[in-house]
Structure 1
Amino acid sequence: METLRARKKQRTRDALLRTAVELFTTRGYEETTVDEIAEAVDVSQRTFFRYFAGKEEAALALQELAVLRFVEAVRERPADEAPVQALRQAVLEGWDTLHEVIEAVVPVELYLRMHRVIESTPVLLAAHLRRNEETEDTIARVLAEREGLDVDADPRPRLAVAVFGGVMRVTERQWSTGEDFSVEAMRALTISYLEQVGPALTERWRTR
């Protein structure tokens, strides 16, 4: 059972995260300091560092929540589902349930705005891509376990995840620079791009 102390700590962390994201999306990541985040929540800088290693961790925390949900969704897919189909359904489920995961901390609209900040801030984008590599390794291991394979001996789990991850990066970039920045637009774009993977890899592209 969750204790009163644990709930208080969670409320403090959520308040720090929400304030950090609000400042990052209105003032800019580089222009926002840890002191300003802490002061806005009426806590000390020391308290901030109890919950986050630094600004970068706070800036990527919402994405981390979504990633953890995605990995769990892959684990929960039916065992008889083909690996790539399991990935596809898990990511679509992630967009469908994004509100449940994110809105306990911030409005989804703020999460989407923070995603754009990450894409446009080199230091955050580099950190985001590093974390994506770690996530891809985790997912490859999940797929290998589902299929009864040795991930270090059989390349298929990592190949599947690499292709899937590449599609998602292209989708993210297209979405973050487009005019329609809604969850629905991202979901539709994800479906469209995933459906093109097979033809893009196996068919000729020339039109004449």
Structure 2
Amino acid sequence: MSNTVAAANAAPQGLRERKKQRTRDALVDAANRLFLSQGYARTTVDEIAAAVDVSQRTFFRYFANKEEAALAVLADAERYFVARLRTRPAAEHPLEAMHAAVCEAWHDLHAAHQRDGRGVTAALELAQLIESTPTLRAAYLCHQAEQEQQVVEVLAAREEVDPVTDLRPRLLAATFGALIRSAHQAWTTQGAQAQEDGPAGMITMIGRHVDQLGPALAGHWH
């Protein structure tokens, strides 16, 4: 997904920038293959660099550590989600805008899947790896907190409210973040069926969670 997201976000690039992007993508792909085949803890930066035939020094030009490389695909996707949220029509309800933006991100994952056949499977496996690796899970939670703040700022700007005195942007951003994580977890439990359904299955799962949000928070359960 990282290639698709990067392409969607990027301005026209010169030859040098395109070469740097290809190197970064290659490092991410190599890191993910190694993490998934032999485990996160057993994989070293030297092994990742060697898989791309670059030096350890080159690796550290792109990533501060292994954690950043492991989270790169999902982090890129989340940045793309925020970018898409900024472009949603002002007349949309904030929840509707976030729902549409995250579906756009998954549609782009579908484009990556059609191109290289690995987009959906990689996202599924990476989500499982992060959940099962305490170090990665802690790093991802910190990243999610940073992204949530960006969403708060976007929502506040869209609705022309002050997020310091108006709690709605922060509450909605936190709630939607929890909703997406719940949808991801529900999707990964489907295993092979989730891979067969692809992004359409994930989009449907997110839609089910969005539909249940109101009744779960404010409706009668019986």
Using structure 1 for the length normalisation, give the TM-score.
0.91
Which residue in 1 is equivalent to 2:215?
199
Q: Which moved more, 1:166-175 or 1:69-78?
A: 166-175
What is the rounded CA distance, in whole Å, between the counterparts of 1:194 and 1:76 in structure 2? 20
Partner of residue 138 from structure 2, selected from 126, 140, 155:
126
Instruction: Name the SS of the counterpart of 1:181 in structure 2.
Output: helix
* One-letter amino acid of the counterpart of residue 74, structure 1: L
Which residue in 1 is equivalent to 2:194?
181
* One-letter amino acid of the counterpart of residue 175, structure 2: V
* One-letter amino acid of the counterpart of residue 89, structure 2: P
Instruction: Name the SS of the counterpart of 2:79 in structure 1.
Output: helix
What is the rounded CA distance, in whole Å, between the counterparts of 2:113 and 2:47 in structure 1? 23
What is the rounded CA distance, in whole Å, between the counterparts of 1:103 and 1:153 in structure 2? 45
The alpha carbon displacement at 1:8 in A equals 2.1
The alpha carbon displacement at 1:19 in A equals 0.5
Detail structure 1 runs of 4+ shifted over 6 Å in the superposition. Answer: 101-106
The alpha carbon displacement at 1:102 in A equals 7.9
The alpha carbon displacement at 1:103 in A equals 7.9
The change in CA–CA distance for 1:79 and 1:181 in structure 2 (over 3 A counts) is same
- Correspondence 1:2 to 2:13: yes
The change in CA–CA distance for 1:15 and 1:106 in structure 2 (over 3 A counts) is farther
Alignment of 1:33-72 (within 5 A): 33-72=44-83
* Alpha-carbon RMSD: 2.0
- Correspondence 1:116 to 2:128: yes
Using structure 2 for the length normalisation, give the TM-score.
0.86
What is the rounded CA distance, in whole Å, between the counterparts of 1:95 and 1:45 in structure 2? 33
* One-letter amino acid of the counterpart of residue 54, structure 1: N
The alpha carbon displacement at 1:4 in A equals 2.5
What is the rounded CA distance, in whole Å, between the counterparts of 1:104 and 1:130 in structure 2? 31
Which residue in 1 is equivalent to 2:5?
none
What is the rounded CA distance, in whole Å, between the counterparts of 1:104 and 1:139 in structure 2? 30
Which residue in 1 is equivalent to 2:29?
18
What is the rounded CA distance, in whole Å, between the counterparts of 1:104 and 1:153 in structure 2? 46
Higher helix share: 2
Q: Which moved more, 1:18-27 or 1:5-14?
A: 5-14
Partner of residue 158 from structure 2, selected from 130, 146, 153:
146
What is the rounded CA distance, in whole Å, between the counterparts of 1:165 and 1:10 in structure 2? 28
Gaps of 5+ in 2: 1-11
Gaps of 5+ in 1: none
Which residue in 2 is equivalent to 1:31?
42
